Structure 1
Amino acid sequence: MGTADTTPLLLNNNNLQEGGGGDLQGKAVAVARAFGTESKRLWKIAGPAILTAICQYSLGALTQTFAGFVGDLELAAVSVENSVVAGLAFGVMLGMGSALETLCGQAYGAGQVRMLGVYMQRSWVILLVTACLLVPVYVFSPPILELAGETTEISEAAGKFAIKMLPQLFAYALNFPIQKFLQAQRKVLVMTWVSAIVLVIHVVFSWLLMLKLGWGLTGAAIVLNTSWWLIVIGQLLYIFVTTSDGAWSGFSWLAFADLWGFVKLSLASAVMLCLEFWYLMVLVVVTGRLSNPLIPVDAISICMNITGWDAMIAIGFNAAISVRVSNELGAGNAQTAKFSVVVVSVTSMAIGVVIMAVVFATRDYFPYLFTNSEAVAEETTKLGILLGFTVLLNSLQPVLSGVAIGAGWQWLVAYINIGCYYIVGLPAGILMGFTFDLGVMGIWGGMIAGICLQTAILIIVTSMTNWNKEASEAETRVKRWGGAAADQH
C-alpha cells in the first residue's frame, strides 16, 4: 500500500507458536525476536534524532553555561530568556511544525511522497507569520517578565538579551518544518551531521567571544543566532541539492492551498506541545516570586538545564515513535504501530532509570559544572532528588506524546494537559511552595504530581486504543489532505 516497512514478526497467536510448539519458551523467543527487530528500526531513527536534539539543545545550554562563568546576573538573564522567552517561542514553533509529523509521516507511509515538499512549504508560511506575531513578546519581555513575578534586575537583563535573540526566532520558523520533513523520510543522519558540525563551531566561538574577548551577552547572542541559521542553511542545501528522493520538487503555489485546514491542525499540535513546554517554563517564573529569588532561580535553572539535556533523549524517541506510528498507520499496518509503542516505551523507561541513578549519584558534584557560586551549588544539590524523579517521568511522557502526534490525537492530549498540568499540578505547586512555605521544593514537587497524572492518563488512553480504527482514519486523512493536490502537483 505504501513505502513504510512492515514488521515481519507481529505478536499474533500464529507467530507466537513458531519455534516453540506453542509453549511458553517458544512464545518468549518469538517476543524477543520481534522486540529486537522493532528495536533496530526504532534506533535507526531514534539514535540520530537523539544526537541531533542533544546538539541543538546544547547550543543554548552551553551558552547558559558560559554565561554562568561571566556572572550570576548574566546566568539568570540567559536562563530566563532561554526558558521563558525563547522557550515560549520554541514551544510554539515546534508545536506548529509538529503538524507535519502527522501529515508527512502518514503521507510517506501511503506513498504520497511528492506532497511532503508542499506540506513543508505550507508550514513555512504559517510559522513565519507566527514568528512575526511573536516579535512583541521579545520586544516587551521586561514588563512581561516583571508581571509574571521576576525581579526588575533579572527582567531587564533578560529583556536586553531577548532583543538580541530575534534572529533565532525566525530560524526556528524554518528549522522545525525542515526537521519534520526529513524525519518523515527517516533522513535523520543529515540533521545529525549538520548539527554536530555547528555545535563544534558554537563552542569555539562562544569561548572566544564571551570569555576571551569579554563580549559577554552580546557575544552570546551573536554566536547563538549564527549557529541556528547555519543549521537551517546546511539542511536546506541538502534538500535543494538532492531533492530528497523526489520529496522536494521546487517551490509551488500549492503551498498556499488549504492553508486554513493546515492552520487548524498546526494549532492543535502547538497547543498540545506548548502546554508541555510552558509547564516547566512556569516553574522558573513562579520560583522568581520567592523572597530573595536570585539563588533559587539560578539553582532551578541549572536543574532545568539538566532536564533539558535528558529530554533530548526522550525527544529522540518521540521523533522515532511518531515516525514509526505515522508511517505504519499510513501504510495500514495497525499491529506494527501498536507493537512499536510497546518497544519504545520499554526502551525509554529503562534509559530513564539509568539517568535517574546517575543524577542521584552525582548531585553533590554536577552543580559545579554550571556555576562558581557555593550558594547556588548547595541549593541545586538540595533539588537533586526532585530532579531525579523528573528525568524518570520525562523518559516516558514525551514518548506517549509522540504516539499522539503520529496518530493525530493532538486535541485530545491538549485537553489532558490542561487538566493535569494547569488545574492540578501548577496550583498544587503554588500551594506547597507558598502556602506551606516549602519554597522551590514545594513548587517543583506539586508540579511533578501533574506530570504523574498526565503520564498515567496517556498510558490508559494508549492501552485502550483501537489501532485498526486508527489505521483507517489515517487512510482517510491522507486522501483528504494529499489526493487531489498530489494529482495537480
Structure 2
Amino acid sequence: MDEEIQERLLNSGQEGDLKGRICQEWKKIWRVALPSVISRVTSFSAILVTQSFIGHISSVDLAGYALVQTLIVRFVNGILLGMSSATETLCGQAFGAKQYHMMGIFLQRSWFVDLITLTILLPVFFFATPIFKLLGEEETIAKAAGYISLWFILFCYALVFSLTIQMYLQAQQKNMVVAWLSVMQLVIHVPLSWLFVRVLDFGIAGAMGSLCVSSWLVVFGEFIYIFGGWCGDSWKGFNVAALKDIFPVVKLSISSGLMICLELWYYAILVLVAGYMKNAEVSISAFSVCINITGWEFMICLGLLGAACVRVANELGRGDAKAVRFSIKVLLSTSVALGILFWILCLVFGKKIGYMFSNDENVAQRVSDLSVLLAFSMLFNSIYPVFSGVAVGAGLQATVAIINGVCFYLIGLPVGLFLGYVTDLQVKGLWIGLLCGVTTLTLALSFMMWRISWDEEVLKASARLKRWYLKTPDEANKATDPA
C-alpha cells in the first residue's frame, strides 16, 4: 500500500513534468520488456544456432529444416502463441485489479487449452513428408523435413509451458527469472550442439536433440520458480476451478490464435511458394534465412509487444484510461527508434549476413540481393507489434485478426505472387509483396488505435473481470460465516 501511495504522489508531482513522466513510463516498460527481449532473443537464437549447425551438415537438410521450422513449427507456434496471449490479457488485467489469485487459475486454464490443442495438431508432424510431397516439394527435401519434424514435437510441448509461464510472470513483473533461464539455455545449447554434432558426429539427431534438451531445461526451471513459493500471491496450487468458465477462455484464445496465426502463416506460405521457384533448394534456404533474421528482430519487438500488453492490461484493470494513452505513445516512440537502428545495421551488414547460416555461395548471394528489402521490413516490423500488444492487453484480438487477414492475404500475398511469377522477380518479388502487407498492416493498426475509446475499454475490462472472478477460500468463508 505504501508503494502504491508513493507511486501516486510521484505521478501527481510529475503531472506537469513531461520529461519526468516519460522517464517513469519508460522504466515501467523496460522492467517488463527487457527480460522479455532477452528471453525471446536467446530462445530464438537457439533455433538459429541449430539451423547453423544443420546448414553446415548439408544444404538438403538445411532446406528440410527451413521447411519444417518455417512452415510446420510456425504454424503450430502461431496457434500456441496466439492462444497463450489470452493469458496475457487476463493475467495482466487481473494483476491491475489486484485479483492476484485469479492469475494462477488463468495459467492453469491456458495449460489445459494449449496442451489439448497441440495434441490435436500432432498429425502435422507425423505426416510431414507426405504433406510436403503433396505440396510439390522435392522428394529429398521432403524426406529430410519429415525426419526433422519428429524432433520438433518435444520442442513444441516445451513451448506450451514456456510461453504461458512467461506471460503469467511478466504480467506481475517477475519475468527476469525467465530471462536468466533463457540465457542459460543458449549457454548450454551452443556447446551441447558442438559436442553432439562436431565431436560425437550425431548429425541431425545431435543438433535437434540439443535443442530439445536445452528447451526443457528452461521449463523445469520455471516450474521450480512457481511451485517453490516465489509466486505466493498468484499461485495457490492446482485447482479444479481452472476448468470452470473454460469456453469463454477458449473463445478469447481462438481470437488470439487467429491474430498471431494469420501473420505467421503468411510467412510460412511465402517459404512454401519459394519452393516452387527456380533452384528451389537455394530459394527456400535464402528466403528462410531472411525470415529468420527478421524473426530475430521480431523477438525483440515481441518484448515490446509484451510490455505493451502488460502496461495496457494493468492500467485497464486499474481503470486509468489516461495512463493507457500515455503508455502507448511512449511505447511507440521507443519501437520506432529501435526500428531505425535495425534498418541502419541491415543496410551496413546486409552483404555478409548469408554467410552466418550457409557456406553455399548461391544462398549467401541470394540473401545479399534481398538485403535492402530486408532492411525496410525490419523498420516496419518494429512498429506494428506494439499495436498488436496494445490490442492483446485490451482483449481486441478478434479485430486485429481481421485486419491481419486483409493486409496479409488480400494485399501482401497477391502482390508477392504477381511480382514473383508474372514479372519474374522470383524471391525478390515475394519479399516486395511481404513488405506491402506489413506496411498496410502498420497503417491500418495506426488508424485503429487512433479511433479506440479507452474509457469504454476500461468499462469492458472491469465487466470481464467481474464476470470471471472466483472468490478466494477466505472470502468464501467470510460469506458463509453468520457472524
TM-score tier, shorter chain, comes to: over 0.9
SS at match of 2:75: helix
Q: State whether residues 182 and 188 of structure 1, in contact with CA within 8 Å, keep that contact through their aligned partners in structure 2.
A: yes
Query: Does structure 1 residue 302 correspond to structure 2 residue 302?
Result: no
- Count of matched residue positions in the alignment of Structure 1 and Structure 2: 475
SS at match of 1:460: helix
Could you tell me how far apart the structure 2 residues matched to 1:347 and 1:15 are?
20
What residue in structure 2 maps to residue 81 of structure 1? 68
Residues 36-72 of structure 1 show CA distances to partners (whole Å, capped at 9, x for unaligned) of 2111111111111100111111111110011111111
Could you tell me how far apart the structure 2 residues matched to 1:119 and 1:34 are?
32
SS at match of 2:201: coil
Could you tell me how far apart the structure 1 residues matched to 2:425 and 2:186 are?
39
Could you tell me how far apart the structure 2 residues matched to 1:108 and 1:295 are?
49
Using the TM superposition, name which of 404-413 and 40-49 deviates more.
Answer: 40-49
* Letter of the 1:114 counterpart: H
Query: Does structure 1 residue 345 correspond to structure 2 residue 332?
Result: yes
SS at match of 1:112: coil
What residue in structure 2 maps to residue 272 of structure 1? 259
How much has 1:33 moved relative to structure 2?
2.2
Give the one of 102, 125, 132 matched to 2:89: 102
SS at match of 2:237: coil
In the superposition, relative to structure 1, how do residues 3 and 430 fare at CA in structure 2: closer, same or farther (>3 Å)?
Answer: farther
* Letter of the 1:162 counterpart: S
What residue in structure 2 maps to residue 67 of structure 1? 54
How much has 1:298 moved relative to structure 2?
1.1
In the TM superposition, 1:68-217 aligns within 5 A as: 68-217=55-204
SS at match of 1:248: coil
Query: Does structure 1 residue 447 correspond to structure 2 residue 434?
Result: yes
Q: State whether residues 303 and 387 of structure 1, in contact with CA within 8 Å, keep that contact through their aligned partners in structure 2.
A: yes
Could you tell me how far apart the structure 2 residues matched to 1:460 and 1:2 are?
39
SS at match of 2:264: helix
* Letter of the 1:217 counterpart: I
How much has 1:148 moved relative to structure 2?
3.4
What residue in structure 1 maps to residue 425 of structure 2? 438
Give the one of 429, 434, 438 matched to 2:416: 429
What residue in structure 2 maps to residue 359 of structure 1? 346
Q: State whether residues 83 and 114 of structure 2, in contact with CA within 8 Å, keep that contact through their aligned partners in structure 1.
A: yes
Could you tell me how far apart the structure 2 residues matched to 1:282 and 1:211 are?
33
Could you tell me how far apart the structure 2 residues matched to 1:334 and 1:466 are?
9
Residues 170-210 of structure 1 show CA distances to partners (whole Å, capped at 9, x for unaligned) of 11222222111111111110101111112111111111111
Give the one of 409, 414, 427 matched to 2:396: 409
What residue in structure 1 maps to residue 469 of structure 2? 482
Q: State whether residues 67 and 145 of structure 2, in contact with CA within 8 Å, keep that contact through their aligned partners in structure 1.
A: yes
What residue in structure 1 maps to residue 361 of structure 2? 374
* Letter of the 1:167 counterpart: L
How much has 1:245 moved relative to structure 2?
3.2
What residue in structure 1 maps to residue 481 of structure 2? none
Could you tell me how far apart the structure 1 residues matched to 2:326 and 2:8 are?
9
Show structure 1 runs of 5+ residues with no match. 19-29
In the superposition, relative to structure 1, how do residues 9 and 168 fare at CA in structure 2: closer, same or farther (>3 Å)?
Answer: same
Query: Does structure 1 residue 51 correspond to structure 2 residue 38?
Result: yes
Show structure 2 runs of 5+ residues with no match. 478-483
Could you tell me how far apart the structure 2 residues matched to 1:419 and 1:162 are?
30
SS at match of 2:351: coil
Query: Does structure 1 residue 260 correspond to structure 2 residue 260?
Result: no
Q: State whether residues 2 and 111 of structure 1, in contact with CA within 8 Å, keep that contact through their aligned partners in structure 2.
A: no
Using the TM superposition, name which of 95-104 and 461-470 deviates more.
Answer: 461-470
Could you tell me how far apart the structure 1 residues matched to 2:396 and 2:472 are?
24
* Letter of the 1:374 counterpart: E
Q: State whether residues 14 and 21 of structure 2, in contact with CA within 8 Å, keep that contact through their aligned partners in structure 1.
A: no
Q: State whether residues 364 and 381 of structure 1, in contact with CA within 8 Å, keep that contact through their aligned partners in structure 2.
A: yes
How much has 1:2 moved relative to structure 2?
13
Query: Does structure 1 residue 329 correspond to structure 2 residue 344?
Result: no
Could you tell me how far apart the structure 1 residues matched to 2:426 and 2:9 are?
53
How much has 1:485 moved relative to structure 2?
7.5
Percentage of matched positions with identical amino acids? 38
How much has 1:362 moved relative to structure 2?
0.7
Could you tell me how far apart the structure 2 residues matched to 1:55 and 1:186 are?
19
Could you tell me how far apart the structure 2 residues matched to 1:254 and 1:175 are?
22
Could you tell me how far apart the structure 1 residues matched to 2:8 and 2:395 are?
22
Could you tell me how far apart the structure 1 residues matched to 2:65 and 2:261 are?
20
* Letter of the 1:63 counterpart: T
How much has 1:221 moved relative to structure 2?
1.8
Give the one of 370, 376, 381 matched to 1:389: 376
How much has 1:7 moved relative to structure 2?
7.2
Q: State whether residues 2 and 110 of structure 1, in contact with CA within 8 Å, keep that contact through their aligned partners in structure 2.
A: no
Could you tell me how far apart the structure 2 residues matched to 1:203 and 1:10 are?
45
How much has 1:312 moved relative to structure 2?
1.1
How much has 1:280 moved relative to structure 2?
1.4
Residues 314-362 of structure 1 show CA distances to partners (whole Å, capped at 9, x for unaligned) of 0000011100000010001111111111101111111111111111111
Could you tell me how far apart the structure 1 residues matched to 2:251 and 2:21 are?
37
How much has 1:285 moved relative to structure 2?
1.0
* Letter of the 1:456 counterpart: L
In the superposition, relative to structure 1, how do residues 289 and 488 fare at CA in structure 2: closer, same or farther (>3 Å)?
Answer: farther
In the superposition, relative to structure 1, how do residues 174 and 228 fare at CA in structure 2: closer, same or farther (>3 Å)?
Answer: same
What residue in structure 1 maps to residue 480 of structure 2? none
How much has 1:299 moved relative to structure 2?
0.9
Q: State whether residues 243 and 249 of structure 1, in contact with CA within 8 Å, keep that contact through their aligned partners in structure 2.
A: no
Calculate the aligned-residue CA RMSD, in Å. 2.0
In the superposition, relative to structure 1, how do residues 189 and 437 fare at CA in structure 2: closer, same or farther (>3 Å)?
Answer: same
Give the one of 457, 471, 481 matched to 2:444: 457
Could you tell me how far apart the structure 2 residues matched to 1:446 and 1:9 are?
48
Residues 445-479 of structure 1 show CA distances to partners (whole Å, capped at 9, x for unaligned) of 01211111111010011112111111111111111
